[in-house]
Chains A and B, each alone.
Chain A
Amino acid sequence: MIRRAVLVVLGLVWLYPTYLLLVNAARPAASYDPATAWAPSGDFALFANFAAALDKADLGASLASTALYSVVSPLLGVVIGAMAGYTIVVLRLRHGFWWFLLIFGGTVFPSQMLLVPLFVGYSDAGLYDTRAGMLLVYTAVNVPLAAFVLRNFYSGVAFSIFEAARMDGASTFRIFWRVYLPISTSALAAVFILEFTFIWNDLLFGLTLTTTESVRPVMTALAGLMTDVYAGTPVPVGLAAGLMCSLPTVLLFLATQRLFARGLSLGSV
């Protein structure tokens, strides 16, 4: 009984901020006042606040760019990583393990070690503040995990599949594209979801490598909004913006929960 009581009390403590957030995100923008923030407002203005956030903070352009980054980069990343895994495991690349270590080792560096050279290098190469530049860096950070998971996955696939396809005269690339990629869909999807979430939530690369609103990823744009929550953007609009920009990752997660769990367990074979 004590256990349930502790859980309920703690749960209520957790729910209260959630409640405050929802109530105030749905409040008409002009009627926010900290003193009455605990009470729900009679008028439901959540969607008006969403629209205001899109409009006022120019979040629309940021959202479009972020959607591009977080779909295209993981797609490229998983295919490139899978190709590396395929070459190392199935085509038995010489010194394959060292190639694998080289690629996977890319995950150990904290992003802070990359920022200065990327900033300076991007400025010199004309990639600073461009969508192409963002796609490039996001793709690169995706590759190690994809290579890791897919290498593991392909180690568990019988070599006879490859041999049979080869006997039938298929090229190594065709076998990769038509046989190995399709059988690893669940592992690919699991990596894709993780990377989508990572990129969608990225603040640091966006902060360092972009400046225009239409190139800036959405979390960076949100962080910029922050400085004027009080000097311009009404609190309900700020809250609605925070909710709205978090929504895609939640929806993706809910929609793919089962696939995600399956993919992870397959990846660890």
Chain B
Amino acid sequence: MTTRSPILGRFRYGYVAPAALLVAGLLYAPFVWTAYLSLTRYDGLAPPEWAGLANFGKLFDDPALLTSLRNTLLWVVGTMVLPVGLGLLVAVLSHDIKGGAWYRVPFMLPYALSGAGLALVWSPILSHGGIANVLLGVDTAFLQSAPVNTLAMLLVWTWQQLGVNTLLFVVGLQSIPKEPIEAARLDGASGWRLFRHITWPLMRPLTAVVVGLALVASLKTFDIVWVLTQGGPGRNSETLAVTMYKETFVASDYGYGSAVAVMLTVVTGLASYLYLKRQVAS
């Protein structure tokens, strides 16, 4: 390797500098600063005051945070069962039948809506006295009491996400080798057993990616909750990401908000680590 040969030019650091400076200045520095602020009392006006672990102590006996953790967990589990699990089901049912792509069209359409737009269009359906109440003939206020409101939002999320998960699984199913499946068929395996023992193990790598992405995204659920309920009523539909935002920018408790952000980071990091470890181990 001719690392120092003049052919490579002398301006190399100049080319990497813009990227490094942007990332350092707008991603790393704020990250470190937030970690520091989580150890202070800070309202955004007076300079931050050192508070040690006080904010983290508060985390553990804050009932709102407990609710927020519970809702976040509900989002994670719900995402695995509904958009991911149901997506797998639709993919398995439709990937090898004639015209399978046509059966999947209804699931792809909602993907056209995104983020705030998705929540916005569901609000007249879910609101009290809204379309869902009329159509189902019930008077439930879907966005009011917990955990019904979180479940209702999970269904909206499922409505939007199912298609893309299905598509990823279909790509995976179509790219697995045909021979083992044919061989198992000849041996008399079919239906559930064929899927459980042959197809499923073959599509493991892809499933790992889809589940991993969904896991991290669901831990950070914010947009849909913010737009549909703002974490309310009261604070009963907050997720960790919503709690962080409200503590910081609504309650102006920047120190505590930072502690929630740190916690969210730790939870996300830990979940990803454990998940990756399990994937690598098996």
Give A contacts to B, CB under 8 Å.
3-4, 6-8, 10-12, 14-15, 17-18, 20-21, 24-25, 32, 34-35, 37-38, 80-81, 83-84, 86-88, 91-94, 99, 102-103, 105-106, 108-121, 136-137, 139-141, 143-144, 147, 163, 166, 171-173, 176, 197, 200-204, 207-208, 219-220, 222-223, 225-226, 229-230, 235, 238-239, 241-243, 245-247, 249-250
Contacts and interface: CB of A to CB of B under 8 A. Distances in A.
Contacts of B207: none
28 contacts: A6-B93, A37-B134, A38-B134, A80-B22, A83-B19, A103-B16, A112-B264, A113-B262, A115-B248, A136-B22, A144-B23, A147-B19, A166-B7, A201-B223, A207-B226, A207-B249, A222-B120, A222-B227, A226-B116, A226-B227, A229-B123, A235-B124, A242-B120, A243-B117, A246-B112, A246-B114, A246-B118, A250-B112
Nearest to A219: B116
Given A99-B20, A116-B248, A246-B113, A140 B103 contact: no
Interface in B86-131: 90, 93-94, 97, 103, 105-107, 109-110, 112-125, 127, 129-131
Interface stretch (B29-37, B72-80, B145-153): B29-37
Given A12-B106, A81-B19, A87-B12, A34 B117 contact: no
A106 B29 contact: no
Q: How large is the interface on B (under 10, 10 to 19, 20 to 34, 35 or more residues)?
A: 35 or more
B265 A112 contact: yes
Chain A binding surface SS class: helix
B68 to A, nearest CB: 13
Contacts of B123: 226, 229, 238
Contact of B134 (A35, A81, A137, A172): A35
Contacts of A239: 120-121, 124
A37 B228 CA distance: 20
Contact of A117 (B29, B121, B162, B262): B29
B144 interface: no
A108 B116 CA distance: 24
Given A116-B34, A116-B248, A222 B19 contact: no
Contacts of B22: 80, 136, 139-140, 143
B8 A83 contact: no
Given A172-B12, A220-B116, 4 more contacts: A7-B94, A37-B131, A120-B44, A243-B117
A106 B31 CA distance: 10
Q: Which of A17, A32, A88, A121 has the most CB of B within 10 A?
A: A17
Contacts of B245: 112, 115, 204, 207-208
Contacts of B12: 87, 91, 93, 172
